[in-house]
């Protein structure tokens, strides 16, 4: 599943090609997504221009305004890549592949193309602009989200405060979007390794000092993954069609039975919150 670094990589990849461009045509080849594509999707988009693309957790937010008047907002597209989706930039005339479900054709011949073999992703229409409070507060997909992990609102104090009295293991606690957004399975495993914390430890038993290290590790891992273009394990490619290379730097995820890169101990596999979790029994306590 594309996680926060993959979604941020997508945003950075497509933004220079779509921001300020006018939408000339919309082609929907398959509307049956997790949320069906709105029936008036093309009517809402044609003639509009893209504003500055934003990301909230794993959601891409694409504001639209009328023609040359950037002050007249039409609304905002919310796009989620699901389990296997990707948004790519292609040129007019490039034939669609299987599972290329949506094309947004721009005025310079560029196409924003959505590919999703499993169709677990979706695109939907939100009334209002990205900066409006009601857009965030009224949509349930956005209103319950915790802070961004790379923002000043996320730190060890928040993790410590939210964890008091919690018996849940720290790894699923860290993956709770109400605690902090976008720290999915891959990056939670890697951050816990860097912080030296056993993923099975009850969240409420971890000290403030150790949570400070964990928050710093989350930021370090996510920033490195974004720099590397995300982690390609199966389907993900960036907005320009490139795979992510952070998989080459993984310390624990997907490496159970292999030696720890730090101490050489055999990495162990456990299941936490119905998700596989790999850790080093010697380095993580």
d(C-alpha 132, C-alpha 191), whole Å: 33
**DSSP of 244-255, one letter per residue?**
PBGGGG-SSTT-
Q: Which residues contact 40 (CB under 8 A, 6 or more apart)?
A: none
* Burial per residue of 174-185, b for 16 or more beta-carbon CB atoms within 10 angstroms, e otherwise: bbbeebbbbbbb
d(C-alpha 80, C-alpha 75), whole Å: 17
The answer to whether 118 is a known ligand-binding residue is yes
Q: Which residues contact 234 (CB under 8 A, 6 or more apart)?
A: 84
d(C-alpha 75, C-alpha 135), whole Å: 9
Active site (catalytic) residues: 2-3, 58, 275
The answer to whether 99 is a known ligand-binding residue is yes
Q: Which residues contact 87 (CB under 8 A, 6 or more apart)?
A: 10, 14, 60, 79, 81, 112, 113, 114, 115, 239
Cβ count within 10 A of residue 107: 12
**DSSP of 174-208, one letter per residue?**
HT-TTTSSS--HHHHHHHHHHHT--TTSBGGGS-H
d(C-alpha 145, C-alpha 135), whole Å: 13
Q: Do residues 99 and 117 make contact, with C-beta atoms less than 8 angstroms apart?
A: yes
The answer to whether 285 is a known ligand-binding residue is no
Annotated binding site for DNA, which residues?
99, 118, 166
């Amino acid at each position: 599943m594309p996680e926060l670094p993959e979604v941020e990589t997508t945003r950075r990849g497509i933004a220079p090609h779509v921001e300020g461009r006018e939408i000339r045509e919309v082609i929907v080849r398959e509307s049956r997504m997790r949320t069906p594509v709105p029936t008036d999707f093309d009517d809402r988009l044609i003639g509009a221009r893209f504003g500055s693309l934003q990301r909230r957790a794993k959601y891409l937010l694409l504001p639209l305004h009328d023609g040359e008047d950037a002050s007249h907002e039409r609304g905002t597209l919310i796009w989620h890549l699901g389990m296997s989706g990707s948004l790519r930039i292609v040129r007019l005339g490039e034939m669609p592949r299987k599972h290329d479900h949506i094309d947004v054709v721009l005025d310079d011949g560029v196409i924003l193309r959505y590919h999703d073999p499993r169709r677990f992703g979706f695109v939907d229409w939100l009334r209002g602009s990205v900066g409006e409070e009601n857009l965030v507060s009224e949509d349930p997909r956005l209103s319950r989200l915790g802070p961004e992990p790379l923002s000043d609102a996320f730190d060890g104090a928040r993790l410590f405060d939210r964890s008091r009295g919690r018996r849940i293991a720290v790894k699923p606690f860290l993956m709770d979007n109400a605690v902090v957004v976008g720290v999915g399975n891959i990056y939670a495993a890697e951050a816990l390794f860097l912080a030296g914390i056993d993923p099975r430890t009850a969240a409420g038993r971890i000290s403030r000092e150790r949570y400070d290290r964990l928050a710093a590790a989350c930021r370090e891992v996510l920033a490195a993954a974004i720099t590397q273009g995300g982690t390609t394990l199966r389907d993900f490619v960036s907005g320009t069609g490139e795979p992510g290379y952070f998989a080459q730097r993984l310390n624990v995820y997907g490496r159970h039975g292999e030696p720890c890169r730090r101490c050489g101990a055999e990495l162990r596999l456990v299941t936490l919150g119905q998700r596989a979790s790999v850790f080093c029994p010697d380095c993580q306590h």
